Amino acid sequence: MQQDDFDFDPPSEAQPATQGHESQLQKANTKPRPPYTLIKGYLNLAQQAALLKEVETYPLTRPEVFVFGKHHPIPRSQVWFGDKGCDYVYSGLFIEAQPWPHYAQKLRLKLERDFGLQSNGVLVNLYANGHESMGWHSDDEKEIKSGTDIASVTIGASRDFFIRHKQTLDKQCLHLESGDLLIMHWPMQSDWEHSLPKRLKVEQPRVNYTFRCLIANYHQHN
């Protein structure tokens, strides 16, 4: 065992704090409820620190998107790590998979061990401060494998995360803090959108990892 492996290997003791899809409350409530599981404090401080340090080595970029006839840099920076053949088209941008860094890979294996989460790629977003954000969207790209969940891990600054039903516009706000894990269960992306609004008072950076399972080689065949 490598010395730096110690802190990702023990099984997690964290328990689900909120189960978006199974609570008694939900059964009694007729309003649509997003199918998610929120696990507060999933990662301990050492795990968070290891990931934050690793982020400094990531080849983050700030691609431009074409909206309303103009090019705009996205209001955050990002990188996509994935297995061979797991390239991704996200916000209309083709992103080639970069090889997995050490701790991002360890986190992927931990999620698989703790929850049986299947993933072959992770999108990492860095929000330098509360001026950076992500607009309403669903992670419903065609290359995402049907039936798979999306796991989102937050490190750094706490931020509000909104979830909104596409038809009823019912809205929920989750306050995501460093170390929290949010699992968005299939088929949440078909009925719900999510966003990370600006919070101008936030001065610290936040990093978010969203683990996804793609159909391998999708862009070679489509």
Ligand X SMILES: O=C(O)CCC(=O)C(=O)O
How big is the site for ligand X, counted in residues (CB under 6 A)?
A: 10
The single-letter DSSP state of residue 101 is P
The answer to whether the annotation marks 137 as part of a ligand binding site is yes
Query: Given the complex with Fe ion, which of 139 and 191 has the nearer CB atom?
Result: 139
- Distance, CA of 1 to CA of 188 (rounded, Å): 38
Is 131 marked as a binding-site residue? no
As a whole number of angstroms, the distance between CA 54 and CA 197 comes to 25
- In single-letter form, the type of residue at position 87 comes to D
- Phi and psi angles of residue 84, each rounded to the nearest 5 degrees, phi first: -60, 135
Spell out, one character per residue from 133 to 152, where the chain touches Fe ion: x when CB under 5 A holds, - when not: ------x-------------
Nearer of residues 7 and 172 to ligand X, judged by Cβ: 172
Q: Does residue 208 interact with ligand X by CB under 6 A? A: yes
Question: If DSSP codes are grouped into helix, strand and coil, which group holds residue 176?
Answer: strand
DSSP run (H or E) holding 18: strand 18-19
On whether 88 is known to bind a ligand per the annotation, the reply is yes
d(CA 67, CA 1): 49
CB of 176 to ligand X, least distance (A): 6
CB-based burial label for 58 (10 Å; 0-12, 13-18, 19+): middle
Q: Which of 50, 74, 123, 151 binds ligand X (CB under 6 A)?
A: 123
Is 194 marked as binding a ligand?
yes
Which x/- pattern, by CB under 6 A, does the window 136-155 give for ligand X? ---x------------x---
Where do contacts with Fe ion occur on this chain (CB under 5 A)? Answer: 139
Interacting residue ranges for ligand X, rule: CB under 6 A: 123, 125, 134, 139, 152, 161, 194, 196, 208, 210
